[in-house]
Amino acid sequence: MLILLLILIASESSTAQEVEDEREFDYSENGEKGPAKWGEIKKEWSECSNGSMQSPIDLSNERVRLISDQDKKINYRAANATVKNRGHDIQIEWFGDGGSVVINGSDYPLRQAHWHSPSEHTIHGRSTDPNLQNKIYVLGVLYKIGKPDKFLSKFIPSIRSMIDKKDEEVAVGMIDATEINVHNKKYYRYMGSLTVPPCTQGVIWTINKKVRTVSMDQVKLLREAVHDYVEKNARPLQPENSRDIFICSPVDEI
């Protein structure tokens, strides 16, 4: 399965930024730069090995607590954007005001979105197809194989033009993240980390409970476009370490 991650950052703290140069790390299971070694590559990445609130995790229903929907307002708007081949994933980046998500009074402006395949988080141990702190908020959308995803379809020509072209960037005009249709009534919520170095903790994770569809051809293109020699760009599941995992639902459905 796939997951689309929308990254919203309340500040431009350097510790909150993902590493973009894929030559510094990779996803090979037994490689010197693979996930098991990330925490040893640089001291600034030590949380990848030593952190107690790392992501992704398994979102099994047996462990979650049901709570009422928290104060969350999604206010996206169209803004100029680009599609970029980062070498380990395909990213959409917004420039200017692409809107924000407001959670309990805190504003998280939209910065970028990217896909991971297979999805890093699992539900009952099952991966889905590619998904889109406390100063970082990550909104995840899970996919399974089925009909093509309309939002991803908008970028197919641009992605095809950058196959195996690391750092290739294409302007795609005004893009409104509202088209992703993330207004879901039920979602998972927990505290975790970035899923790539430096694995910064304190990230607010929200994963939509509803699983959408993406075509196999779309998933294959996302993997073919990046020149990373591996079959996936997803970090393995991390220990839960007794963290609270919530399912947020409207009050009248609890």
Report, as residue numbers or ranges, the catalytic residues. 88
Residues 6+ apart with CB under 8 A from 75: 99, 100, 101, 102
Burial class (CB in 10 A: 0-12, 13-18, 19+), 247: middle
Residues 6+ apart with CB under 8 A from 242: none
Could you list the beta-strand ranges (E) of the chain: 2-9, 65-68, 72-76, 79-85, 90-94, 99-103, 106-116, 122-123, 126-127, 136-145, 169-175, 187-193, 201-208, 212-214, 246-249
Helix (H) or strand (E) holding 157: helix 156-161
- Token pair belonging to 125: 């141990």
The label of the residue with tokens 């970035």 reads 194
Q: What is the DSSP letter of 208?
A: E
